[in-house]
Amino acid sequence: MAEKMLKFVQTAQAMPEKRMAADRAKDFDEIYREFAAQKAAEQASRCSQCGVPFCQVHCPLHNNIPDWLRMTAEGRLEEAYELSQATNTFPEVCGRICPQDRLCEGNCVIEQSGHGTVTIGAIEKYITETAWASGWVKSPKPLHGERPQSIGIVGAGPAGLAAADKLRRLGYAVHVYDRYDRPGGLLIYGIPNFKLEKDVVERRSKLLAEAGVQFHMNFEVGRDATLDELRKKHDAVLIATGVYKARDIQAPGSGLQNIVPAMTYLTASNKHGLGDTVPEFENGQLNAQGKKVVVIGGGDTAMDCVRTAVRQGATAVHCLYRRDKANMPGSLREVKNAEEEGVEFVWLSLPKSFRGEGKVTAVHAGRMKLGPADASGRQMPVEIEGADFDQPADLVIKALGFDPEDLAQDFKAPHLEVTRWGTVKISARSKMTSMPGVFAAGDIVRGASLVVWAIRDGRDAAAAIHQYIQAKAQPAAQAAE
């Protein structure tokens, strides 16, 4: 039944049912169930249809949220899907894993007025899942025939795949190269199943392949071809390789066994979940079962590690972070989920060394308090003298963030300019790097960021590549006249 809008006073906010913590800690299935049709319409009808929709302004894709909410409330789901997919290549992914509390929902006007935000992400997921079930999601085949030019995309993460989708629709031959064995980047090997089930990503890559996108997996640029070689092969190249160099902690004992980087741990868990044989998981090295686990860090990667360890059957999981809860970089929604699942947070604690003989047995940490703010306005942690403690651990996972690899060296491309942070430098307007015809998008340009920004960058880069190729084709066509 069609719902009227502006129901935020009489209709309370509701999320799809969240599975009980005790049940979800036993498996890797997603933790939220689906909205039923009536519930989605009812929740969409809470939207206040603002003249200036701050949700849309704060969505990196500027999704037309108020309009697709109204269509959902009115039961016009196919139109809602058409509108939603017009600005977002993977709306079902964003609906699941965007930190909505910091983006669209955090800026919803009815949230600001104390009524509780419209549950935008859950409705976006509902619309797109309905579209998949109803056969409305179409493969991105060329709309107006094939073009003679080909584009090489390095990296099959969300930035590369979003660009591949747009460029293929425009009729280009699209070749995606990735050093992993499956497309998806961090959507497959970083983000755990309980946030994003893998078949959600796999059905998208399948659709791209059906549309003619050619995937060259287990192909590492730098090892299997140089950037120059790829550039010669294609009319334009897009670098979308993400950032993978793990930040490390240099402290006494950091060479002990069973201290591992987050991506090593999460990749093993995700591969195991996908049915691959992972020797380091099978021999227990990267499996938290029966272990006391300590995760160091306060971002989303740390949250994924603690919650993975719970599901693997760790006997205790502690997360050490040097600031307090209010100042942690990770999504508060994820912290709440982790706490419900039994993770203990040790706020204001800074690892100083690792104890053990051969293998780690404890993290030795100092207690901190928050001192004066630094230049960015953030309070700096200051150590409290004489308050050190030991946190027992059989497995320590370092989740301290990521930096870019040295691409100019790895790709044997000394002319590829990078910033002082090592990210690839592009022109804000043309999205082109210092090498003509070579573009870049996603984390390798921004530094570690979000999936929704990678999608935005991939779409923008595709539009810029199209413009570049059209501009080059014009003089050639004129000369031939």
User: What residues make contact with ligand SF4 under the rule CB under 6 A?
Assistant: 59, 61, 63, 65, 88, 94-95, 98, 100, 103-104, 120-121, 124, 452
Nearest to ligand SF4 of 84, 423 (CB atom): 84
Q: Which does 174 bind (CB under 5 to 8 A by kind): ligand FAD, ligand SF4, none?
A: none
Q: Which does 179 bind (CB under 5 to 8 A by kind): ligand SF4, ligand FAD, none?
A: ligand FAD
Nearest to ligand FAD of 45, 89 (CB atom): 89
The three-point CA angle 253-255-256 to 5° equals 75
Nearest to ligand FAD of 340, 405 (CB atom): 405
Name residue 418's amino acid: V
Q: Which does 225 bind (CB under 5 to 8 A by kind): ligand SF4, ligand FAD, none?
A: none
Q: Which does 120 bind (CB under 5 to 8 A by kind): ligand FAD, ligand SF4, none?
A: ligand SF4
Give the separation between CA 273 and CA 288, rounded to whole angstroms.
14
What minimum distance in Å lies between the beta carbon of 90 and ligand SF4? 9
Other CB atoms within 10 A of residue 376 CB = 6
Nearest to ligand SF4 of 6, 57 (CB atom): 57
Q: Is 215 helix (H, G, I), strand (E, B) or coil?
A: strand
What minimum distance in Å lies between the beta carbon of 120 and ligand SF4? 5
Q: Would residue 389 be called left, alpha or beta, if left means φ above 0 and alpha means ψ between -120 and 50 degrees?
A: beta
The residues binding ligand FAD (CB under 6 A) are 97-98, 154-160, 177-180, 185-186, 190-191, 195, 220-222, 240-242, 266, 300-301, 304, 442-443, 449-452, 454
What minimum distance in Å lies between the beta carbon of 450 and ligand FAD? 4
Q: How big is the chain, counted in residues?
A: 481
Nearest to ligand FAD of 262, 368 (CB atom): 262
Parallel, antiparallel, or unpaired: how do β-strands 150-154 and 173-177 relate?
parallel
CB 75 within 8 A of CB 103: no
Q: What are phi and psi of 141, to 5 degrees?
A: -75, 155
What minimum distance in Å lies between the beta carbon of 399 and ligand FAD? 8
For 204, the token pair is 């998208």
Q: Which does 191 bind (CB under 5 to 8 A by kind): ligand SF4, ligand FAD, none?
A: ligand FAD
Nearest to ligand SF4 of 178, 457 (CB atom): 457
Q: Which does 240 bind (CB under 5 to 8 A by kind): ligand FAD, ligand SF4, none?
A: ligand FAD
What is the chain's alpha carbon radius of gyration, rounded to the nearest angstrom? 24
What minimum distance in Å lies between the beta carbon of 429 and ligand SF4? 24
Q: Which does 221 bind (CB under 5 to 8 A by kind): ligand FAD, ligand SF4, none?
A: ligand FAD
Which stretches within 62-190 are classed as H helix?
A: 65-73, 77-87, 91-97, 109-112, 120-134, 158-169, 186-189
Q: Which does 124 bind (CB under 5 to 8 A by kind): ligand SF4, ligand FAD, none?
A: ligand SF4
Name residue 97's amino acid: I
What minimum distance in Å lies between the beta carbon of 19 and ligand FAD? 18
Q: Is 345 helix (H, G, I), strand (E, B) or coil?
A: strand
CB 461 within 8 A of CB 444: no
Instruction: Report the greatest alpha carbon distance in the chain.
Output: 82
| Token pair 């983000």: residue | 191
Q: Which residues contact 202 (CB under 8 A, 6 or more apart)?
A: 182, 184, 188
What minimum distance in Å lies between the beta carbon of 65 and ligand FAD? 17
What minimum distance in Å lies between the beta carbon of 323 and ligand FAD? 20
Give the separation between CA 174 and CA 227, rounded to whole angstroms.
16
Q: Which does 121 bind (CB under 5 to 8 A by kind): ligand FAD, ligand SF4, none?
A: ligand SF4
For 453, the token pair is 């920004």
What minimum distance in Å lies between the beta carbon of 335 and ligand FAD? 13
